[in-house]
Amino acid sequence: MHPFLFRSAKLVGPWLAALAMVACSGTAQGPDLSANAGSGGSGASSVEAGLDADAFTPDTAVDSEASAMDSALDQQMDSEAGSSCEPTKGNILGPYYKPDAPERDVLVEPADPGVRLTLTGRVLSTECAPISDALLDFWHADAAGEYDMVGFRFRGRFLASASGTWKLETIVPGRYLNGGTYRPAHIHVKVDAPGMAPLTTQLYFDDDPFNANDDFILPSLIMHVEGPPEGPRTASFDFVLQRL
């Protein structure tokens, strides 16, 4: 069995158990105060529009830009050798996780509305050493703040490289109501690697005006985002996993 599939199968059970234990925070109440704000859960309102997971081919092409990024990251890793990296803090799973997302690192389709976003980063140990072949499982709301609970729009899993680097192509998620206030834009992710404690967390954007009022945001999970508000935008984040 392919390691990706093996690890996916191994993790489905615990993740479903965790899903059942986490309190649901998203609601679909109140007025629509924002052009990119939704209700969070979609149900029948966000029926998947023609995305065929079986027909998807992961984008594994290595271009010169990616090679330059890997080279820079390798140099950074060398400079960090022997140092200490702080473990990434966990964040709530939330009610919208779905297992078995398609294997892909490009979540956005050409016709999808939304500000284009490229995320890059690494998976490291607490010794700042790269972790090979970590499984990353991302999910987030669409530009209108809706999660696709019917299909797998804006959901995908893939392995980080042998040197721990990863890259995700997607959009800046829309906001959705959490009780009476909007949650800031955020991207959910699970990270799992052999011999390491699984991580469930969320990534946030440093220029989101709703960060200040969120119940769940943590300063260490806020990414510095570059690029104009209308996009394209970029950000990076290093996941640091603890050994079991």
Q: Using the rule CB under 5 A, is 174 a contact of Fe ion?
A: no
**CA nearest neighbour of 4 among 160, 198, 159:** 159
Rounded distance, CA 244 to CA 233, Å? 35
Cis status, amide bond into 95, omega within 30 of 0: no
Instruction: Write each residue from 55 to 94 as x if it is in contact with Fe ion (CB under 5 A), else as -, in one continuous string.
Output: ---------------------------------------x
Which CB atom, from 94 or from 156, has the smaller least distance to Fe ion?
A: 94
Rounded distance, CA 97 to CA 52, Å? 19
Instruction: Write each residue from 17 to 46 as x if it is in contact with Fe ion (CB under 5 A), else as -, in one continuous string.
Output: ------------------------------
Centroid of chain to Cα 16? 18
Residues of span 91-120 touching Fe ion by CB under 5 A: 94
Output the residue with the shortest Cβ distance to Fe ion: 94
Residues of span 198-217 touching Fe ion by CB under 5 A: none
CB of 31 to Fe ion, least distance (A): 20
Residue type, 197: A
CB of 21 to Fe ion, least distance (A): 16
Angle at 216 between CA 215 and CA 221, to 5 degrees: 140
Which CB atom, from 94 or from 151, has the smaller least distance to Fe ion?
A: 94
Count residues near Fe ion (CB under 5 A): 1
Burial of 3 (0-12, 13-18, 19+ CB in 10 A): exposed
CB of 141 to Fe ion, least distance (A): 6
Residues near Fe ion (CB under 5 A) are 94
